[in-house]
Structure 1
Amino acid sequence: MVSAYAELEEPMRGRLGGRECLYVPSCRFGLYLALRHWCEPGGRVLMSPVNDDVIFFVVLAAGLRPVQAPLDPRDGSVDAAAVPTSVWSGLSAVLTTNLYGNPDPAPELRKRCDRLGIPLIEDAAHAIGSTVGGRPVGTYGEASVFSLSKHVHAKTGGFLALADPALRDELAAARDALLRPTRPTAELAHLIRPYAEAAVRGLRLTGAARAALRTLGLEEREEIRMPLRPDALERALPAAPALEPFHPWIRVDMHAYRLRPGPAKLRRTGRRLARLDGVLAAHRAGTARLLASEYGSAAGAGAEAQPLFRVPLLVEDRDAAVAALARRRITTGYLYDPPLDAYAGERFTDPSPAPERAAWFARHALPVDPRRADEVLPALRTAGIRPAHLSTAPGGAR
Structure 2
Amino acid sequence: MGAMGEALEARMRDRLGRECLYVPSCRLGLYVALRHWCRPGGRVLMSPVNDDVIFFVVLAAGLRPVQAPLDPRDGSIDESAVPEATWRSVDAVVTTNLYGNPDPAPGLRARCDSLGIPLLEDAAHAIGSRVGGRPVGSYGDASVFSLSKHTAAKTGGFLAIADPRLRSELRDARDALLTPSRLSAELAYVLRPYAEAGVRGLRLVRAARAVMRLLGMEEREDIRMPLRPGELKQAVAEAPALPPFHSWVRVDMHDYRIAPGRARLRRTARLLDRLDDRLAAHLEGTRRLLASPWGAPGPGPVQPLFRVPILVADRDAAVAALARHRITTGYLYDPPLDDYATGLFTDPSPAPEPARWFARHALPADPLRADRIVAVLDAAGVRPAQAPPLPGAGPAGGPEDGAGG
Q: CA deviation at 1:221?
A: 1.1
Q: CA deviation at 1:184?
A: 1.9
| Superposed counterparts of 1:186-197, under 5 Å | 186-197=185-196
Counterpart contact for 1:287–1:311, Cα < 8 Å: yes
Q: CA deviation at 1:215?
A: 4.1
> Residue 140 of structure 1: SS of its match in structure 2?
coil
Q: CA deviation at 1:92?
A: 0.6
How far does the alpha carbon of each residue in 1:92-128 deviate from its partner, in whole angstroms, 9 at most, with x for none?
Answer: 1000000000000000000000000000000000000
Of the three residues 368, 373, 377, the one matched with 2:374 is 377
Which residue pairs with 2:349 in the alignment?
A: 352
**Letter matched to residue 362 of structure 1:** A
Q: CA deviation at 1:393?
A: 7.4
Q: Find the aligned partners of 1:214 and 1:265 in 2 and give their Cα distance.
A: 27
Which residue pairs with 2:123 in the alignment?
A: 124
Counterpart contact for 2:125–2:150, Cα < 8 Å: yes
Q: Does 1:306 align with 2:331?
A: no
Q: Does 1:136 align with 2:141?
A: no
**Letter matched to residue 72 of structure 1:** D
How far does the alpha carbon of each residue in 1:118-157 deviate from its partner, in whole angstroms, 9 at most, with x for none?
Answer: 0000000000000000000000000000000000110000
Change (3 A) 1:361 1:25: same
> Residue 390 of structure 1: SS of its match in structure 2?
coil
Q: CA deviation at 1:205?
A: 4.5
Which residue pairs with 1:8 in the alignment?
A: 8
How far does the alpha carbon of each residue in 1:12-48 deviate from its partner, in whole angstroms, 9 at most, with x for none?
Answer: 111112x000000000000000000000000000000
Counterpart contact for 1:224–1:336, Cα < 8 Å: yes
TM-score of the aligned structures, taking structure 1 as reference length? 0.95
Q: CA deviation at 1:220?
A: 2.3
Q: Find the aligned partners of 2:392 and 2:296 in 1 and give their Cα distance.
A: 14
Counterpart contact for 1:199–1:205, Cα < 8 Å: no
Q: Find the aligned partners of 1:304 and 1:292 in 2 and give their Cα distance.
A: 14
Which residue pairs with 1:284 in the alignment?
A: 283
Q: Find the aligned partners of 1:323 and 1:209 in 2 and give their Cα distance.
A: 16
Counterpart contact for 2:72–2:388, Cα < 8 Å: no
Q: CA deviation at 1:385?
A: 0.1
Of the three residues 358, 362, 366, the one matched with 1:365 is 362
Q: Which moved more, 1:334-343 or 1:286-295?
A: 286-295
Q: CA deviation at 1:390?
A: 1.0
Counterpart contact for 2:309–2:365, Cα < 8 Å: yes
CA RMSD, Structure 1 to Structure 2 (Å) = 1.7
Q: Find the aligned partners of 2:248 and 2:287 in 1 and give their Cα distance.
A: 36
Q: CA deviation at 1:261?
A: 0.5
Which residue pairs with 1:338 in the alignment?
A: 335
Which residue pairs with 2:53 in the alignment?
A: 54
Change (3 A) 1:205 1:10: same
Which residue pairs with 2:400 in the alignment?
A: none
**Letter matched to residue 323 of structure 1:** A
Counterpart contact for 2:71–2:390, Cα < 8 Å: no
Counterpart contact for 2:312–2:362, Cα < 8 Å: yes
Q: Find the aligned partners of 1:342 and 1:273 in 2 and give their Cα distance.
A: 37
How far does the alpha carbon of each residue in 1:245-299 deviate from its partner, in whole angstroms, 9 at most, with x for none?
Answer: 0000000000000000111000000000011000000000110111111111131
Which residue pairs with 1:181 in the alignment?
A: 180
How far does the alpha carbon of each residue in 1:158-183 deviate from its partner, in whole angstroms, 9 at most, with x for none?
Answer: 00000000000000011111100011
Structure 1: runs of 5 or more not aligned: none
Which residue pairs with 1:166 in the alignment?
A: 165
**Letter matched to residue 211 of structure 1:** V
Q: Find the aligned partners of 2:212 and 2:284 in 1 and give their Cα distance.
A: 37
Q: Which moved more, 1:335-344 or 1:208-217?
A: 208-217
Q: Find the aligned partners of 1:212 and 1:364 in 2 and give their Cα distance.
A: 29
Q: Does 1:296 align with 2:318?
A: no
Change (3 A) 1:205 1:274: closer
Q: CA deviation at 1:2?
A: 2.3
Counterpart contact for 1:360–1:394, Cα < 8 Å: no
Aligned-residue sequence identity (percent) comes to 70
Change (3 A) 1:143 1:373: same
> Residue 95 of structure 1: SS of its match in structure 2?
strand
Q: Find the aligned partners of 2:189 and 2:177 in 1 and give their Cα distance.
A: 20
Q: Does 1:266 align with 2:296?
A: no
> Residue 249 of structure 1: SS of its match in structure 2?
helix
Which residue pairs with 2:242 in the alignment?
A: 243
Of the three residues 300, 312, 316, the one matched with 1:315 is 312
Q: Find the aligned partners of 1:48 and 1:238 in 2 and give their Cα distance.
A: 23
Q: Find the aligned partners of 1:65 and 1:290 in 2 and give their Cα distance.
A: 37
Query: How many aligned positions are there?
Result: 394
**Letter matched to residue 94 of structure 2:** L
Which residue pairs with 1:100 in the alignment?
A: 99
Structure 2: runs of 5 or more not aligned: 398-405
Q: Find the aligned partners of 1:48 and 1:206 in 2 and give their Cα distance.
A: 32
Counterpart contact for 1:357–1:394, Cα < 8 Å: no
Change (3 A) 1:296 1:190: same
Q: Which moved more, 1:286-295 or 1:311-320?
A: 286-295
Counterpart contact for 2:199–2:205, Cα < 8 Å: yes
How far does the alpha carbon of each residue in 1:345-385 deviate from its partner, in whole angstroms, 9 at most, with x for none?
Answer: 00000001111110000000000010111101111011000
TM-score of the aligned structures, taking structure 2 as reference length? 0.94
Counterpart contact for 2:199–2:208, Cα < 8 Å: no
> Residue 94 of structure 2: SS of its match in structure 1?
strand
Which residue pairs with 2:156 in the alignment?
A: 157
Q: Find the aligned partners of 1:8 and 1:346 in 2 and give their Cα distance.
A: 41
